[in-house]
């Protein structure tokens, strides 16, 4: 490279060899336009103290080190904070694509602003604006796929939306949300809570179906709950009771079932009295009140302390007296199946 052309201010330069001047270098501090173009070179000692000023013709000066080019003066480049605020403004006005692009640039300059946006999503999730929060979490993850905390909060928000649906009785939507939570592969505590809530939702569906005498369909949901938590005693008991009800709904003929017919349900954790109560309650729901009374009386005889069997028997006997002239009518009696509660989780805020 030719380093003898046009020295600039702040170039490190010196007289060319052959000029008769000592071969020293200094900083170009001024370009002189009088006569032949010349440069004024400031000479300093090792400690930076001025020792001399040399004037050299520009074409005879040799550039030892060129000064770096300064950035061109133009529109100021916005910083990460300004970009982040622009992104929020665009988002609030529905300009999603532009907001995403602006957030992307802000996160590139300063990754911590992804956490700021996540905290805003957390605020929406906390006030039950689940869809807004889910949208924001997904935008963050589109821009920063490895942001594990945002992914965890997204899973928790799907879980909490499921809990909200479950408490409104919209159980099928609740199950959709819980399954979406599982697809996001949450960590231990969230995963366990999601499993618990799914058990609660499946149990609720089973109870709903049993209440309208769709015992076989209800049994399938009790089985799903049991599969999720086979070590949960209540899930096992509920499944066993639903199996008794399904068997009673398909009974042929009349009379009291044998004790042997309940053996498999007793192995699942029920007592004989509980089996008889569930069987009798189901028979009553089918309108066979006289048979139900006999079966429930046996349940009471087997275990006088079975409060549910005692209560059901009292209802049946009272109804028999009041309907002696009008004939038997179906009775809705509890089988002993117990519901589970759903529980929400808390999103994690970045401090």
| pLDDT tens across the length of the chain (351 residues) | 344 455 666 666 776 655 554 566 777 667 776 556 777 777 776 665 666 777 777 777 777 666 666 545 444 446 889 999 999 999 988 899 999 999 999 999 989 999 999 999 999 999 999 999 999 999 999 999 999 999 999 999 999 999 999 999 999 999 999 999 999 999 889 999 999 999 999 999 999 999 999 999 999 999 999 999 999 999 999 999 999 999 999 876 667 788 999 999 999 999 999 999 999 999 999 888 888 999 999 999 999 999 999 999 999 988 765 554 444 678 899 999 999 999 999 998 875
- If one counts every other C-beta atom within 10 angstroms of the C-beta of residue 347, the result is 24
List, in sequence order, the alpha helices (H) in 168-302.
171-183, 188-211, 215-228, 233-249, 263-267, 272-285, 289-302
Which tokens in the block code for residue 124?
């929406």
3-state DSSP assignment of residue 62: strand
State which H helix or E strand residue 40 sits in: strand 38-44
Q: What is the pLDDT of residue 23?
A: 60
Q: What is the pLDDT of residue 46?
A: 64
Distance between CA atoms of 30 and 35, rounded to whole angstroms?
A: 15
pTM over 0.75: no
Provide the residue count of the chain. Answer: 351
Q: What is the pLDDT of residue 1?
A: 37
Distance between CA atoms of 333 and 273, rounded to whole angstroms?
A: 15
Q: What is the pLDDT of residue 201?
A: 97
Summarize pLDDT for 24-77 with one digit per residue, the tens. 677 766 777 655 677 777 777 666 566 677 777 777 777 766 666 654 544 444
Distance between CA atoms of 219 and 211, rounded to whole angstroms?
A: 12
Q: Supply the DSSP symbol for 351.
A: -
Which tokens in the block code for residue 175?
């199950």
Instruction: Return mean pLDDT, the chain.
Output: 85
Q: What sign results for the dihedral spanned by CA atoms 225, 231, 232, 233?
A: positive
Distance between CA atoms of 132 and 102, rounded to whole angstroms?
A: 19
Q: Which of 239, 314, 242, 308 is nearest to 273 (CA)?
A: 308
């Amino acid at each position: 490279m030719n380093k003898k052309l046009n020295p600039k201010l702040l170039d490190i330069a010196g007289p060319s060899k052959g000029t008769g001047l000592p071969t020293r270098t200094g900083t170009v501090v001024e370009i002189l336009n009088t006569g032949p173009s010349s440069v004024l070179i400031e000479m300093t000692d090792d400690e930076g103290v001025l020792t001399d000023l040399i004037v050299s013709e520009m074409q005879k000066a040799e550039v030892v080190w060129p000064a770096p080019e300064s950035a061109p003066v133009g529109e100021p480049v916005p910083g990460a904070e300004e970009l982040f605020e622009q992104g929020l403004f665009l988002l609030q006005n529905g300009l999603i694509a532009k907001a995403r692009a602006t957030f992307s640039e802000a996160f590139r300059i300063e990754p911590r602003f992804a956490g700021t946006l996540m905290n805003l999503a957390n605020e929406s999730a906390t006030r039950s604006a689940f869809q807004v929060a889910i949208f924001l979490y997904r935008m963050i993850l589109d821009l920063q796929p490895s942001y594990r905390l945002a992914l965890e909060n997204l899973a928790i928000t799907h879980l909490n939306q499921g809990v909200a649906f479950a408490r409104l009785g919209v159980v099928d939507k609740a199950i959709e949300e819980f399954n979406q939570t599982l697809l996001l592969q949450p960590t231990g505590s969230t995963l366990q809570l999601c499993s618990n809530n799914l058990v609660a939702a499946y149990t609720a569906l089973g109870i709903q179906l049993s209440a309208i005498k769709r015992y076989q369909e209800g049994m399938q949901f009790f089985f799903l709950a049991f599969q999720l938590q086979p070590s949960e005693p209540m899930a096992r008991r509920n499944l066993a009771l639903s199996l008794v009800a399904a068997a009673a709904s398909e009974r042929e003929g009349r009379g009291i079932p044998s004790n042997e017919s309940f053996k498999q349900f007793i192995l699942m954790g029920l007592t004989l009295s509980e089996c008889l109560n569930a069987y009798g309650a189901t028979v009553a729901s089918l309108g066979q009140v006289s048979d139900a009374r006999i079966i429930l009386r046996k349940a009471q005889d087997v275990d006088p302390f079975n409060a549910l069997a005692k209560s059901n028997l009292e209802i049946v006997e009272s109804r028999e007296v009041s309907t002696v002239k009008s004939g038997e009518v179906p009775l809705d009696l509890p089988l002993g199946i117990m519901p589970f509660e759903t529980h929400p989780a808390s999103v994690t805020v970045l401090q």
